[in-house]
């Protein structure tokens, strides 16, 4: 993990090693600009008189967690890695509870009102709010990184497999040995086609092997229409038996497998709406956007012998991935989307009856829910120093949320180190020394 560096006009320079940043901070040549991600301002430098290398933002969008890696293109060094946890499910739950509440109220109060739920139109490119929030999270972080580092290109994963590279997979025979890019595309294709479970016993969440429906020793081909996925046990049990014999007791399953084996997978199933929309929005940044397939990502990661994490997957997205990726000692900054609070003033109980009223104000004594603070509690059960996120109350007793515990603190013991920005952070850089300039 490197530290982002800005020049005195807040223009991005090359990120530097944390040790170098500590040195610059302690000899007062730099000051802290931002805690998350850690950024310093070098006061005696400007972009004009220093060389700045181009970087590429690489994104592996996921439904729960998105990995982002910032890679220096010439050296292949991963300078920074982020893992963003989205709040799609929370958004969905909140909207569902609101809908149920409103529906109940309409039923009670306006029973004879004409329905008017069908006279609404949606803007083009509309996505459900839960998906929209995911895209917005990624857009936000691309925008933020661009302010901290010179970014010239973006890579993102768009599809699970690349149909064009496979060229009509159901017809052509394809080599799928380990280590071949095609093999990874074929595996991803099969995973999508057969639904990520064993074709014979439908077990899930186990390693699946590519299985020939007509065994090779019986003249079966390498065409995708002759391939399916099976768990180790089923694969061994079937061996080179004909499928008709192996599934003698399950005629329905046999019929289903034979039917779906011949049917080609439609192009559309490889791409989902969210990723397309993300791709469109990334293009509107004006940077060159490269797209990769899931098969390519896996291939890139496997041949480089890199462990699987969201951020390493991100670093391996796309054909432009450098031959050597330098990622020793990188620890990703873990980011969790937390939203910006709620406008709901009435807090109902589970039956929809008003339970409490929330004040309109968002801040109290200069603090806001979501601020990250340094707490120095002198006495009491929780005496000590902490860094964490606070939730405010409208009296001098805030809740300090730490990874393992939470307790009440008086605001006089708190000092804000990072203003609420809709995200929560967890990183190893929490205890960097810092100096603020007023």
Residue ranges in contact with Zn ion by CB under 5 A = 198, 200-201, 231, 234
Query: Are the beta carbons of 38 and 372 closer than 8 angstroms?
Result: no
Using DSSP's 3-state secondary structure scheme, residue 400 falls into strand
Query: Cβ closer to Zn ion: 201 or 254?
Result: 201
> Closest distance between Zn ion and the C-beta of residue 265, in Å?
21
What CA–CA distance (Å, rounded) separates 393 from 359? 10
> Closest distance between Zn ion and the C-beta of residue 208, in Å?
8
Query: Cβ closer to Zn ion: 231 or 337?
Result: 231
Phi, psi of 15 (to 5 degrees): -60, 150
Query: Cβ closer to Zn ion: 96 or 236?
Result: 236
Other beta carbons within 10 angstroms of residue 249's beta carbon come to: 7
Query: Cβ closer to Zn ion: 201 or 387?
Result: 201
Q: To 10 degrees, what angle do helices 88-109 and 129-148 make?
A: 140
Query: Cβ closer to Zn ion: 197 or 401?
Result: 197
> Closest distance between Zn ion and the C-beta of residue 295, in Å?
23
Going from the C-alpha of 130 to that of each of 74, 225, 279, the distances in angstroms are 37, 36, 17
> Closest distance between Zn ion and the C-beta of residue 20, in Å?
54
Among 6, 61, 18, 30, smallest CA distance to 277 is for 61
> Closest distance between Zn ion and the C-beta of residue 222, in Å?
22
Residue 101's H or E segment, with its range, is helix 88-109
Residue 398's H or E segment, with its range, is strand 398-401
> Closest distance between Zn ion and the C-beta of residue 243, in Å?
13
195 Cβ contact list (under 8 Å, min separation 6): none
Query: Cβ closer to Zn ion: 247 or 414?
Result: 247
Query: Cβ closer to Zn ion: 127 or 201?
Result: 201
What CA–CA distance (Å, rounded) separates 138 from 127? 15
E strands in 138-226: 151-159, 208-212
> Closest distance between Zn ion and the C-beta of residue 397, in Å?
57
Cα dihedral 66, 67, 72, 74 in deg (nearest 10): -100
Query: Cβ closer to Zn ion: 79 or 228?
Result: 228
What CA–CA distance (Å, rounded) separates 164 from 267? 10
> Closest distance between Zn ion and the C-beta of residue 276, in Å?
34
């Amino acid at each position: 993990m490197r530290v982002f560096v800005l020049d005195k006009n807040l223009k991005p320079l090359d990120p530097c090693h944390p040790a170098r940043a500590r040195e610059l901070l302690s000899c007062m040549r730099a000051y802290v600009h931002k805690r998350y991600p850690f950024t310093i301002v070098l006061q005696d430098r400007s972009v004009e008189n220093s060389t700045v290398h181009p970087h590429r933002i690489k994104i592996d969008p996921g439904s729960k967690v998105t990995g982002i890696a910032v890679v220096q293109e010439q050296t292949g060094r991963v300078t920074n890695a982020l893992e963003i946890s989205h709040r799609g499910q929370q958004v969905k739950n909140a909207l569902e509870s609101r809908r149920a509440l409103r529906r109940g109220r309409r039923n009670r109060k306006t029973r004879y009102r004409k329905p008017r739920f069908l006279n609404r139109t949606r803007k083009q490119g509309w996505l459900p709010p839960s998906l929209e929030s995911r895209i917005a999270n990624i857009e936000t972080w691309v925008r933020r990184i661009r302010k901290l580092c010179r970014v010239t290109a973006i890579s993102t994963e768009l599809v699970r497999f690349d149909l064009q590279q496979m060229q009509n997979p159901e017809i052509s025979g394809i080599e799928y040995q380990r280590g071949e890019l095609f093999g990874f595309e074929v595996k991803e294709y099969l995973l999508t086609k057969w639904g990520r479970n064993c074709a014979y016993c439908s077990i899930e969440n186990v390693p699946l092997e590519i299985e020939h429906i007509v065994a090779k020793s019986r003249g079966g081909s390498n065409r995708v229409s002759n391939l399916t996925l099976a768990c180790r046990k089923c694969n061994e049990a079937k061996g080179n038996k004909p499928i008709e014999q192996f599934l003698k007791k399950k005629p329905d399953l046999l019929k289903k497998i034979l039917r779906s084996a011949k049917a080609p997978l439609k192009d559309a199933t490889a791409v989902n709406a969210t990723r397309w929309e993300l791709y469109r929005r990334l293009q509107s940044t004006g940077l060159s956007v490269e797209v990769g397939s899931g098969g390519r990502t896996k291939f890139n990661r496997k041949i480089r012998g890199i462990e699987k994490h969201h951020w390493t997957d991100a670093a391996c997205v796309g054909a432009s991935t450098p031959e050597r990726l330098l990622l020793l000692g990188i620890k990703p900054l873990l980011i969790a989307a937390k939203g910006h609070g709620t406008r709901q003033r009435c807090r109902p109980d589970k039956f929809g009856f008003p339970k409490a009223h929330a004040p309109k104000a968002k801040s109290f004594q200069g603090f806001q829910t979501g601020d990250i603070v340094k707490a120095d509690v002198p006495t009491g059960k929780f005496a000590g120093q902490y860094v964490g996120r606070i939730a405010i109350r409208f009296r001098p007793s805030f809740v300090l949320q730490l990874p393992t515990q939470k307790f009440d603190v008086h605001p006089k013991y708190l000092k804000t180190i990072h203003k609420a920005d809709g995200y929560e952070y967890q990183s190893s850089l929490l205890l960097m020394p810092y100096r603020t300039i007023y």
